[in-house]
Amino acid sequence: MTQSNKTILRALRGEKLATPPVWMMRQAGRYLPEYRATRQTAGSFLDLCYNPDFATEVTLQPIRRYGFDAAILFADILLVPQGLGADLTFVQGEGPRLSTVQNADDFTKLKPADAVHETVSPIYETVRRLSSELPPETTLIGFAGAPWTVATYMIAGRGTPDQAPARRLMYSDRTTFDALMDRITEATTLYLLKQIEAGAEVVKIFDSWAGALPGGEFHRYAIAPVIRIVDAIRAKHPDVPIIGFPRGAGGSYVDYVNEAGISGVALDTSVNPDWAARTLQPKLCVQGNLDPLLMVLGGDALTSQTKRIVEAFSGGPHIFNLGHGITPDADPANVDVMLKAIRG
């Protein structure tokens, strides 16, 4: 199959398909026994990310098992801050821990944006391997965290419920906060460009904490950095589609879609599919947005909700996905139930 005929790429070009292509956020992950086995062999989570043998293997596992229409590179959004000089560890059962950037002195200790390549070069090797090992019909998606979401971790040193540490720095020291956002934006752009050069056919920008931004700051810190990234990618790779995911954006999804310049928008679980079909889908491809909890529960609710989303978005370009990542307690058998409801 030529690249132009891959279903994900056709949808992102605006084509309405009789059966929507499908992949899942976090599809290579802890719900799969084969992933857990590979993770145990690899050692730490970062060892898994930075070893191209292991990272390629776990990226391919859900493709072998389910035949998704896309594979997403196995990595983590916090590899960019590590490349900028942040100390990064993952605590079992608790998540990431980073050294923090909380003032101008902390910022001056960061490396320049192009230093990120020294740390993340194994990721590019993983992309190169995947581009040759994936089935010819499967699209390869690269990704990065959006600057705002990455900044929240760099400032707090961990995930927080309301991103208060990042908002506090934003209000109290705008100069340092803006400098940090600029550095992350530049590094993210370079990182995504290298992924594309290595073989990524689509890239996705995950703004997992976009919904924590106050309305008045949403354009400045959720939309404007993505515009910079998109413009830089388009200048070198005008045909590579870009998916944006401003999770929790609510009504600001409209502004994001209108202004960011993306090819497709991923919808979180809170977004009403009927509203999105009327408001967003006439402008671009929409992706989503099944509740991940249904991958745990299964049954008739999973089948009916899957079919409802397919029907709601049947009038335009649509990539079926979850509204957030599949969770570790999901039943792998429920993925087959979902796929049957989509594909028949």
Known catalytic residues are: 26, 30, 39, 76, 153
Q: Tally Cβ neighbours within 10 Å of residue 338.
A: 23
Half-sphere exposure of 31 (CA within 13 A, CB side): 22
Q: Which of 258, 297, 312 is CA-nearest to residue 280?
A: 258
Q: How distant, in Å, are the alpha carbons of 83, 176, 229 from that of 110? A: 9, 12, 20
Q: Tokens standing for 37? A: 């086995």
Q: What is the distance, to the nearest Å, from the Cα of residue 295 to the centroid of all Cα atoms in its chain?
A: 19
Cα–Cα dist 271/80, whole Å = 29
Strands in 230-315 per DSSP E: 242-246, 264-266, 285-287
State which amino acid sits at residue 262. Answer: I
Q: Which residues 6+ apart lie within 8 Å of 244 measured at CB?
A: 146, 204, 205, 207, 226, 256, 260, 262, 264, 265, 266
The DSSP call for residue 17 is: -
Cα–Cα dist 154/88, whole Å = 10
